[in-house]
Chains A and B, each alone.
Chain A
Amino acid sequence: MTGASPNLVASVSRRHPEVDTPTSPVVHFDTGAPLHLACQQDLAPFSIAYETYGELNAAKSNAILICHALTADQYVASRHPITGKPGWWDNMVGPGKPIDTDRFFVICSNVVGGCMGSTGPASINPKTGAPYVLTFPVITVGDMVEAQARLIDYLGIDQLFAVIGGSMGGMQVLEWASRYKDRVFAAVPIATAAWHSSQNIAFHEVGRQAVMADPEWSGGNYYAAGTVPKNGLAVARMAAHITYLSEEALHRKFGRNLQDRSSLSFTFNAEFQVESYLRHQGSTFVDRFDANSYLYITRALDYFDMRESAGGVLANAFRGTKTRFCVVSFTSDWLYPTRESREIVQALNAVAANVSFVEIESDKGHDAFLLEEPTFFATIRGFLNAAAMKRGLGSPEARK
């Protein structure tokens, strides 16, 4: 039975210093300016950690907000302070890249409920002097957007040139476009949906149960217990990671190849390369992500249903919009399949919105939106260029 309970990780510090003192800038909103949450509670004080790239122009008209996905953070195009790896969308965001930081002022903030400097369950509750843990209110995607709006206010920006994001980031894009119609000139929801499907809730529940079944989770109080539910969180990540890929991509990458051996060894070790890969994904994840944040953010996704909040008709969420939309899906994404993007497009058509919709052919599954897919990049670049012309930001050629 060797390896049946994989020793996935080296020891992890209990509460990472990034929770309280992030490497990135952070803005604190004090008790006089609470965040009103969907659950009817107020969160105050609260902090939003964010990164910016490029320069805000004098008219403050060239700002792009990038919304991150479930387990990403504000380090969209800068080295991650814990892993030391390049930004999670380094190929998309930067000088001369599709989201060109020579032209645009790019903002990316850690979501409320996160663990990289924005207030979340690992943060200290000033009332008790101890981490919130499970007393942290359950937050929603809408709450994330309200917190971002406070940051955008703080930065003195009236209207964002664009809000862009994939997966959970795409849901924030949709919420932005719905809640702040005058503040979003262009919106790019990528590989996302207007409501979280039953299957996706099911996968999240598997992940949460894996975390909670780990004795080291200690009812959420692992910071005090001096433990880390690393096995539970790693299993959650492993299960989730499968949903980010496609059968085809997995087969192409690993097939039935064996890891460091030439024949089956009749054990429960990571004999197959795919097992070894997933274990690695799990173990590196727990080094950088807080288990309670994982519970809270997956919950926020499960609660997401714009159709419901628009009174059963999704189109109502966008009525009166002047925003230019570019909806993108990927053929092999089974987590947020094309038909769910098409539903967004149909709702936008129903209110005669200005919408482009592109389905990108890729066999890389949901994670394709993070990878260098030439057609995808050309789409984003072309859409942003055209929108920038409309916004009076000039053509990229004109600047050179």
Chain B
Amino acid sequence: MNAPDIGKIAGQPKAPRVDHLLIAEMVEAGSRVLDVGCGDGELLQLLSERKGVDGRGVELQREKVNACVAHGLSVIQGDADRDLDNYPDQAFDYAILSLTIQATRQPKNVLENLLRIGRRAIVSFPNFGHWQVRTKLLFSGRMPINDNLPDEWYLTPNAHLCTIRDFADLCELVHADVEQAVAFNAYGARLPIKWSLSMQNMFGEKAVFLLRGPKRPTAGG
């Protein structure tokens, strides 16, 4: 019946996720942010509290959308694959896709849309190149299950898992500049920035990329 207080879901005093904290560092204060696949609004809430952003969200699951809106966040029920086409170019300072790209039907298309809608795009994803994933597959011959990939293959919403190297290739393919790329190990610690891509790919459990889209002709604004 009654709407729970704003603090109870989105701003629960549990520790923010490490990737969310990193994104909060990347985002400039007071900017306009679109969080695609915003879930229960945890990141939007964090960005609003710490960076005073003007945040919007898109979320597929109806219950999560309802909870977000009931807690005062501007969120629409929608689908990254279907609904991003409607947004105008450069409508946001940042278009964020947090641990969602692997669950989209057309990741390349979604990424291109993010780079078009936002002046910058921030994408985080679980790294399928992590050594534990590789060894699990190598020795057990079965799809790996861990904290980042918690579901059985037949239940997972993930459709397009990739490695850090794969994602870097995709960025190149769509002519996105990688301004920053950070990988976290299984304990949530950032891997040394000097490490090579192959090392990040081996020891990073998830990664966050800050991207800038290709220069586009300005015709039509």
Which A residues are closer than 8 A to B by beta carbons?
Answer: 324, 326-327, 345-346, 349-352, 354-361, 374-375, 377-379, 381-383, 385-386, 389
Q: Identify B66's interface contact among A346, A349, A375, A389, CB under 8 A.
A: A375
Could you tell me how many residues of chain B have their Cβ less than 8 Å away from some Cβ of chain A?
A: 26
* Residue contact B69 to A383, C-beta cutoff 8 Å: yes
Contact residue among A359, A375, A378 (Cβ-Cβ distance under 8 Å from B77) = A359
Query: Which residue from chain A places its CB closest to the CB of B84 in the assembled complex?
Result: A349
| Minimum CB distance partner of A352 in chain B | B91
CA distance A379 to B62 in the complex (A): 12
With a CB–CB cut-off of 8 A, which chain A residues contact B68? Answer: 356
Q: How far is the CA of A382 from the CA of B9 in the complex (A)?
A: 13
Would you list 17 pairs from A and B whose C-beta atoms are within 8 A, ordered by A residue? A349-B86, A350-B86, A354-B54, A356-B68, A356-B69, A356-B73, A356-B74, A357-B78, A358-B62, A359-B65, A359-B77, A360-B66, A377-B1, A378-B66, A379-B70, A382-B70, A386-B71
Contacts of B134 in A (CB 8 A): none
Contact of B83 among A326, A349, A352, A361 (CB under 8 A): A349
Q: Is B16 an interface residue (CB 8 A)?
A: no
- A355 pairs with B66, CB closer than 8 A: no
* Minimum C-beta distance from B40 to chain A (A): 13
Given contacts A345-B76, A354-B74, A357-B75, list 11 more A-B pairs with CB under 8 A.
A326-B69, A327-B76, A351-B88, A352-B92, A357-B78, A359-B65, A374-B1, A379-B69, A382-B70, A382-B71, A389-B72
Minimum Cβ distance to chain B for residue A368 (Å): 14
Of B1, B54, B62, B78, which one neighbours A361 at CB under 8 angstroms? Answer: B62
- Write out the residue numbers on chain A whose beta carbons fall within 8 Å of the beta carbon of B78: 345, 357
A358 touches B69 (CB 8 A): yes
Known: A382-B3, A382-B70, A386-B73. A358 touches B86 (CB 8 A): no
CA distance A366 to B155 in the complex (A): 34
A146 to chain B, nearest CB (A): 29
Once bound together, how far apart are the Cα atoms of A346 and B82, in whole Å? 11
Q: Is the CB of A357 within 8 A of B65?
A: yes
- Give the residues in chain A near B56, CB-CB below 8 Å: 354-355
- Whether a CB of chain A sits under 8 angstroms from the CB of B2 is yes
Q: Tell whether, in the assembled complex, residue B88 and residue A382 are in contact, meaning their CB atoms are under 8 Å apart.
A: no
Smallest Cβ-Cβ distance to A327: which chain B residue: B76
What's the Cα separation between A377 and B69 when bound, in Å?
11
* B153 close to chain A: CB less than 8 A: no
User: Nearest chain A CB to B95's CB is how many angstroms away?
Assistant: 12
Q: How far is the CA of A324 from the CA of B76 in the complex (A)?
A: 12
Q: Across the interface, do A346 and B1 meet the contact criterion of CB distance under 8 Å?
A: no
> Which of these, A357, A360, A377, A383, contacts B72 with CB under 8 Å?
A383
- In the docked arrangement, what's the CA distance between A386 and B54, Å? 13
Enumerate chain A residues within 8 angstroms of B88, measured Cβ to Cβ: 350-352
Within 8 A of A (CB), among B31-60: 54, 56
Q: When the two chains form their complex, are residues B77 and A357 in contact, meaning their CB atoms are under 8 A apart?
A: yes
> Of B56, B68, B76, B77, which is in contact with the most chain A CB atoms at under 10 Å from its CB?
B76
Closest residue of chain B to A361 (Cβ to Cβ) is: B62
Q: Which residue of B lies closest to A349 (CB)?
A: B86
Q: How many Å lie between the Cα of A378 and that of B73 in the bound state?
A: 13
**A351–B91 CA distance with the chains assembled, in angstroms:** 8
Q: Name the distance in Å between A159's Cβ and chain B's nearest Cβ.
A: 20
Residue of chain B at shortest CB distance from A372: B1
Smallest CB separation, A201 vs chain B (Å): 27
Instruction: Give the chain A neighbours of B91 by CB distance below 8 A.
Output: 352
Cβ-closest chain A residue relative to B3 = A378
Q: Nearest 7 pairs between A and B by C-beta?
A: A386-B72, A382-B70, A357-B76, A352-B91, A378-B3, A378-B70, A346-B86
CB distance from B57 to the nearest CB of A (A): 9
Contact of A355 among B2, B3, B70, B76 (CB under 8 A): B76
Q: How far is the CB of A332 from chain B (nearest CB, A)?
A: 13
Contact across chains for B72 and A385 when beta carbons are under 8 A apart: yes
In the complex, chain A residues whose CB is within 8 Å of the CB of B87: 349-350, 352
Complex-state Cα separation, A349 to B84, whole angstroms: 9
Q: Which of B112-170 contact A (CB under 8 A)?
A: none
Contact A356 B86 (CB under 8 A): no
Among A345, A350, A357, A381, point to the contact of B70 (Cβ < 8 A).
Answer: A381
Q: Are A346 and B83 in contact (CB under 8 A)?
A: yes
**B residues less than 8 Å from A354 (CB atoms):** 54, 56, 74
A352 to B95, CA, bound (A): 13
Find out whether the CB atom of A355 lies under 8 angstroms from the CB atom of B72: no
Q: Which residue of B2, B54, B76, B86 contacts A378 across the interface (Cβ within 8 Å)? A: B2
List of B residues within 8 angstroms of A374 by Cβ: 1
- Max chain A Cβ within 10 angstroms of own Cβ: one of B72, B73, B92: B72
Tell me the minimal C-beta distance from B198 to chain A in angstroms.
Answer: 40
